Amino acid sequence: MARYPSLMNLHAPKPDKYKRYRERKKAAGLKQIRIWALNPDAPGFRERLDADQARIRTSESERSSIAFIEAMMAEDLAADDVAEAY
């Protein structure tokens, strides 16, 4: 294929397929989000995790939140067991 740089507009914007993809998704009512995950290989990760766990164990508000979540989970599991009986 022959190319003629003198006839090409080198400064013309290139089509961005990802921009079109995002526009289609946005038009469909969706929103792009980015999810950040913890990196267990990062320096100091284990120490920070241990410190966070210790802070949670000694926090009364965290313990009450965890107790509430566990109660809701137990209730949900019990409802699932009842539904499976039928």
Model confidence pLDDT, tens digit, residues 47-59: 999 999 999 889 9
With respect to residue 11, please indicate whether it lies within any of the assigned structural domains: no
Q: Is residue 46 in some structural domain?
A: yes
| DSSP secondary structure code for residue 39 in this structure | -
Residue 36 placed within a domain = yes
What is the residue range of 45's domain? Answer: 17-85
As a 3-state breakdown, the chain gives helix, strand, coil percent values, each rounded to 5, of: 60, 0, 40
Q: Is residue 57 part of a domain?
A: yes
Instruction: Identify whether 42 is part of a domain.
Output: yes
Q: pLDDT tier at 16 (50, 70, 90 boundaries)?
A: confident
pLDDT at 36: 82
Report how far residue 55's alpha carbon sits from residue 62's, in angstroms, rounded to the nearest whole number: 9
Alpha carbon distance 65, 59 (integer Å): 10
Token pair recorded at residue 76: 């949900």
pLDDT at 34: 82
Is 5 a domain residue? Answer: no
pTM equals 0.39
